[in-house]
């Protein structure tokens, strides 16, 4: 396909809410929940942050790493479940904020947690067919968990951006290929104008997450004639810390291959940002020649699988912007009351 | 250019005047001034009115026409001027210039603001329009916030303390007790000020002037005709006006108002006097820090000493340079457009020896200092007792 | 704030684009259209500031204006940018009680406010401790 990643960037807000703080309010057993979800705390956006401000930070970081003139970006796609507007794209706000306007196309995507990776595939097509020179795909969310619902422990905020370009001197990694597995599976959804999503409980497991993630992974490995041993790292969509380890195990990956790209235990599920942040965490440390499998998952349902091979360019580029670990470690813990104020759960 | 005198003054009580409308306030203040001047209203040639925001507070523009109409004085020319909180001072200056130039003889300079017909949040928003809407108000700055930024820097550069700022409020409340028109007639202590709720650190509730309704009016005449009307004419010996950037962040300094220094310089020059010649002054204490900066800008003390000088009692009635004997904006109240005129009323009463328990003995020369916004406009007048 | 008024200033608010006088090289932010010094011979061109500066005064806002109540108490500061001009902005992502004159800050893209629940959302700059 001859396309690659020219730059990448992430942003994670600094506030954290520990499992203990939520459990205290709703009467949960914090230790059991932490073990069951393999998660300690989740990121919370500040009162002046939203999916657009997070997308802008991630995009600016990606442009810094890419070292390109933003005017050469021909397309920007922003995927989210928490776009600030129902109608008026986040993508144009990002486009102005990185000075990419006006010679570009833009749109917002929705496909639950895989809206960002769907954008990567679109950019691959546009770059590969020479329609544009560079395309940017962003996955960003300030996910909202209903108070008292189990999802409240994991619904977090963060975003990742990837700039796709023709494979060449500027790319820091090649996107070898992509394969997607998509069906109409209503495992988790949110109706128009309702504030919180609903989900099918245990139905979200085998028939949803695992079926699509495993099928997409198998599909790509078959297409490329590769096995788990051919990969250095595997990044899976990470609604909690456990599912990726389970999926990886079933596919034949080792825990060591998965841990570098597993960030949810420290920051929660950043929804559309999750797979992109997992990929960024791996790119922050991978060596030239390493091959990475990325499999996202979006409820509704579908998975996008990518095989990505790291190139020499990465060592000079990755220090140009803050890394995932920098954002993970820059944190301030808040209590549940502050969380409700920030998330405007108590409306005046 | 002829010399101009004040021949009559009048004002309403300042306060939350629920029963009294905008129209009634202006006619009340005007009637008192006319009575004080002993003049027939038909002799008035023109009016200048200062008002900041009738459009926002009572949804009424074109108040020049409304006021001439309500006063029963049509068809004389009536002009509304606006410079935020300096609207009153500006009206006085424009009126003075029209008499000095010979175009008019007897001219009314009035100021009025009706602030309490809307909720406090709307009042605050209306007042904030004196600041830069695009680059100050838009990012969350309020009026108290902008003055608080000046206070914080003044404390940083000169060691001014919150106690020194509190003393301004204490003095002005004390003075207001002797002013029957003042909004507040109660003493407060430094402790009261320090313990009042924070608004914008370091400013607390009692560091801030209140929301007030009120109107004030003075009548001007050529000085050589003044004795036709009064035995105690007060001559406007000097006037000065200056502008500065609307936003605080664009100023050259955060700890004083360049426009105040400039306006004062022009007024002193015209009057042929200097700061040491002043017997008293009414200055624009919209916040306690504003009075401290004012006495520095006007040359009553060295730059940075405003807090110390206040603390040492030099600005009390009976002190070296009594400031705000009326109670100032803090004690008397601050109906925005009326304040500049009310300052002139106080100085006039003092120079006539009519200030009762607030009287500064032997007062012969006084100064008024009226500021718009955070210092974008300043108008200074100097008045002398007429011979 | 009306939509056209906000929209017109998006490059300034999102990307700190000010102006620079081609004659005396003074940089202005917020942007100016006349150089006070050079006046008719001043040639003002757009100029992007890099967003780094230091706090020269601040206040903690307890009584917030309409639309900012949920963020109170917040720190509001005057920041001197490295290129020279000063601007007013909130300081976010910090404990307002820890803000000091002299602190280094950088400007970031944040949500400033909205025109009510149904209205447009205003984005712009705030400062964070550097």
Domains and CATH numbers, chain B: 4-119+212-228 (3.40.47.10), 142-208+235-385 (3.40.47.10)
Mean predicted confidence (pLDDT) in A170-181: 96
The reported pLDDT for the residue numbered A195 is 86
The residues of chain A that CATH labels 3.40.47.10 are 3-171+315-342, 174-314
What are the tens digits of pLDDT across the range B3-30?
A: 999 999 999 999 999 999 999 999 999 9
- Chain B and chain A touch, per 3+ beta carbon pairs within 8 A: no
Contact A142, A82 (CB under 8 A): yes
| Six-digit token string for A309 | 């091979």
Question: Quick check: A1 pLDDT over 60?
Answer: no
**d(C-alpha B107, C-alpha B120), whole Å:** 35
Domain count, chain C: 1
Q: Which tens digit of pLDDT belongs to each residue from A194-247?
A: 889 999 989 999 999 999 999 999 999 999 999 999 999 999 999 999 999 999
Distance of CA C34 to the CA centre of its chain: 20
CB-nearest to C89 from B139, B156, B198 is: B139
What pLDDT was estimated at residue A193? 86
Neighbours of chain C (3+ CB pairs under 8 A): A, B
* Cα C111 from Cα A54, distance rounded (Å): 10
A3-171+315-342: CATH, from 3.40.50.510, 3.40.50.150, 3.30.450.40, 3.40.47.10: 3.40.47.10
Closest CA to B108 of B220, B239, B29, B216: B220
Which pLDDT does position A169 carry in this prediction? 85
Is the CB of residue A50 less than 8 Å away from at least one CB of chain C?
yes
B369 is catalytic: no
Domain of C57, in residue numbers? 51-129
What pLDDT is attached to residue B121? Answer: 84
* Residues near A194 by beta carbon (within 8 Å), at least 6 away in sequence: none
pLDDT reading at B208 higher than 90? yes
Q: What is the pLDDT of residues B287-343, one digit of tens each?
A: 999 999 999 999 999 999 999 999 999 999 999 999 999 999 999 999 999 999 999
Contact residues, chain C, for A97 at CB < 8 Å: 14-15, 109, 123
pTM: 0.93
B23 and B55 Cβ atoms separated by less than 8 Å: no
Instruction: Please report, for the domain that includes residue C99, its CATH number.
Output: 2.40.50.840
Confidence of residue B215 (pLDDT cuts 50, 70, 90): very high
The pairing of beta strand A291-295 with beta strand A233-236: parallel
Q: How far apart are CA B135 and CA B2, in angstroms?
A: 43
> For the segment B332-344, what is each residue's pLDDT rounded down to a tens digit?
999 999 999 999 9
In this complex, is the C-beta atom of B140 within 8 Å of any C-beta atom belonging to chain C?
Answer: yes
Instruction: Select the CATH number that applies to the domain covering A174-314 from these four: 3.40.47.10, 3.40.50.300, 3.40.640.10, 3.40.718.10.
Output: 3.40.47.10
- Taking the C-alpha atoms of residue B179 and residue B156, their distance in angstroms, rounded to an integer, is 35
Do residue A52 and residue C111 have CB atoms under 8 angstroms apart? Answer: yes
**Average pLDDT of the residues in B65-84:** 96
Would you say C44 and C53 are in contact if contact means Cβ atoms under 8 Å apart?
no
- Indicate the average pLDDT of chain C: 95
Please name which of B159, B117, B130, B172 lies closest in space to residue B315, comparing C-alpha atoms.
B172
Alpha helices in chain A (DSSP H): 19-26, 30-37, 51-66, 90-97, 115-128, 211-224, 242-251, 255-259, 264-267, 274-283, 314-317, 324-329, 336-342
Q: What is the CA angle B124-B126-B129, rounded to 5?
A: 110
- Angle formed at CA B198 by CA B193 and CA B201, multiple of 5 degrees: 105
Residue of A9, A43, A48, A345 for testing the chain C interface, max C β-carbons within 10 Å: A48
pLDDT of residue C70: 85
d(CA A125, CA A107): 15
ipTM, two decimals, is: 0.95
Residue A345 has pLDDT above 80, yes or no: no
Percentage of chain B exceeding pLDDT 90? 98
Q: What tens digit of pLDDT does each residue of A47-78 get? A: 999 999 999 999 999 999 999 999 999 999 99
Q: What is the mean pLDDT of residues A117-143?
A: 97
Tokens of A120: 């990567």
For A152-173, what is each residue's pLDDT tens digit?
A: 999 999 999 999 999 988 899 9
DSSP B161: -
Is residue A348 predicted with pLDDT exceeding 70? Answer: no
Cα–Cα nearest to A96, from A50, A140, A55: A55
Which pLDDT score, from 0 to 100, does residue A296 have?
Answer: 98
Q: Which of residues 326-345 of A touch C (CB under 8 A)?
A: 341, 344
Residue ranges with strand state E in C15-103: 17-21, 27-28, 44-48, 52-61, 74-81, 86-91
């Amino acid at each position: 396909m001859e396309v690659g990643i020219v730059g990448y960037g992430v942003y994670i807000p600094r506030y954290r809410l520990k499992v203990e703080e939520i459990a205290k309010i709703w009467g949960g057993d914090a230790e059991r929940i932490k073990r069951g979800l393999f998660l300690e705390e989740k990121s919370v956006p500040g009162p002046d942050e939203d999916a657009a401000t997070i997308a802008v930070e991630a995009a600016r970081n990606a442009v810094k790493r890419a070292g390109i003139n933003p005017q050469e970006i021909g397309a920007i796609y922003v995927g989210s479940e928490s776009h600030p507007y129902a109608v008026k794209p986040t993508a144009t706000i990002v486009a102005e904020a990185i000075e990419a306007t006006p010679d570009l196309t833009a749109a917002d995507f929705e496909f639950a947690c895989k809206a960002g990776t769907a954008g990567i595939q679109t950019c691959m097509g546009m770059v590969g067919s020479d329609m544009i020179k560079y395309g940017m795909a962003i996955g960003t969310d300030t996910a909202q968990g209903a108070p008292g619902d189990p999802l409240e422990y994991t619904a977090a905020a963060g975003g990742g951006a990837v700039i796709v370009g023709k494979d060449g001197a500027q790319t820091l990694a090649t996107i070898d290929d992509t394969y997607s597995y998509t069906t109409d599976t209503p495992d988790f959804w949110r109706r128009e104008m309702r504030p919180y999503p609903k989900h099918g409980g245990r139905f979200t497991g085998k028939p949803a997450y695992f079926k699509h993630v495993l099928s997409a992974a198998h599909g790509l490995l078959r297409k490329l004639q590769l096995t788990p041993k051919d990969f250095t790292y595997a990044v899976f969509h990470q609604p909690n810390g456990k599912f990726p380890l389970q999926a990886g195990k079933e596919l034949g990956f080792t825990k060591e291959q998965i841990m570098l790209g597993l960030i949810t235990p420290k920051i929660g599920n950043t929804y559309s940002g999750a797979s992109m942040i997992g990929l960024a965490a791996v790119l922050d440390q991978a060596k030239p020649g390493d091959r990475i499998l990325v499999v996202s998952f979006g409820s509704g349902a579908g998975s996008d699988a990518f095989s990505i091979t790291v190139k020499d360019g990465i060592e000079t580029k990755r220090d140009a912007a803050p890394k995932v670990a920098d954002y993970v470690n820059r944190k301030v813990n808040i209590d549940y009351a502050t969380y409700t104020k920030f998330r405007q759960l108590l409306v005046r | 250019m002829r010399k101009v005198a004040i021949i009559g003054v009048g004002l309403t009580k300042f306060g939350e005047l629920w029963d009294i409308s905008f129209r009634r306030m202006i006619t009340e203040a005007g009637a008192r001034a006319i009575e004080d001047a002993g003049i027939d209203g038909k002799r008035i040639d023109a009016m200048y009115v200062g008002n900041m925001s009738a459009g926002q507070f009572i949804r009424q523009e074109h108040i020049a026409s409304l006021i001439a109409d309500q006063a029963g004085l049509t068809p004389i020319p009536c002009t509304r001027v606006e410079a935020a909180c300096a609207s009153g001072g500006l009206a006085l200056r424009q009126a003075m210039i029209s008499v000095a130039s010979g175009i008019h003889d007897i001219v009314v300079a009035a100021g009025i603001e009706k602030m309490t017909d809307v909720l406090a949040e709307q009042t605050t928003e209306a007042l904030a329009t004196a600041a830069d809407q695009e680059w100050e108000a838009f990012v969350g700055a309020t009026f108290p916030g902008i003055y608080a930024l000046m206070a914080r820097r003044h404390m940083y550069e000169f060691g001014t303390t919150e106690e020194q700022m509190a003393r301004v409020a204490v003095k002005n409340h004390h003075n207001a007790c002797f002013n029957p028109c003042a909004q507040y007639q109660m003493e407060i202590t430094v402790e009261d000020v320090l313990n009042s709720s924070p608004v914008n650190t370091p400013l607390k509730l009692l560091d801030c002037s209140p929301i007030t309704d009120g109107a004030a009016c003075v009548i001007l005449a050529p000085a050589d005709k003044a004795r036709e009307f009064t035995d105690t004419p007060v001559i406007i010996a000097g006037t000065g006006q200056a502008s500065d950037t609307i936003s605080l962040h664009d100023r050259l300094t955060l700890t004083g108002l360049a426009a105040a220094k400039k306006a004062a310089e022009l007024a002193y020059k015209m009057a042929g006097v200097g700061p040491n010649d002043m017997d008293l002054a009414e200055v624009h204490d919209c916040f306690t820090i504003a009075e401290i900066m004012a006495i520095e800008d006007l040359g009553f003390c060295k730059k940075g000493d405003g807090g110390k000088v206040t603390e040492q009692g030099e600005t009390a009635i009976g002190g070296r340079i009594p400031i705000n004997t009326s109670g100032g904006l803090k004690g008397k109240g601050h109906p925005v457009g009326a304040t500049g005129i009310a300052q002139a009323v106080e100085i006039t009463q003092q120079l006539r020896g009519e200030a009762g328990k607030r009287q500064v003995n032997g007062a012969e020369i006084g100064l008024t200092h009226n500021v718009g916004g955070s210092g974008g406009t300043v108008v200074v007048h100097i008045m002398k007792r007429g011979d | 704030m009306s939509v056209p008024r906000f929209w017109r200033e998006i490059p300034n608010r999102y990307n700190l684009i000010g102006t620079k006088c081609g004659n005396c090289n003074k940089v202005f932010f917020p942007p100016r259209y006349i150089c006070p010094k050079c006046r008719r011979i001043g040639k003002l061109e757009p100029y992007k500031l890099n967003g780094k500066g230091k706090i020269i005064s601040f206040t903690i806002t307890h009584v917030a204006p309409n639309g900012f109540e949920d963020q109170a108490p917040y720190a509001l500061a005057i920041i001197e940018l490295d290129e020279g001009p000063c601007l007013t902005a909130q300081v976010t992502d910090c404990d307002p009680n820890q803000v000091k004159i002299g602190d280094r800050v950088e400007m970031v893209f944040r949500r400033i406010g909205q025109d009510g629940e149904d209205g447009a959302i205003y984005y712009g700059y705030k400062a964070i401790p550097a």
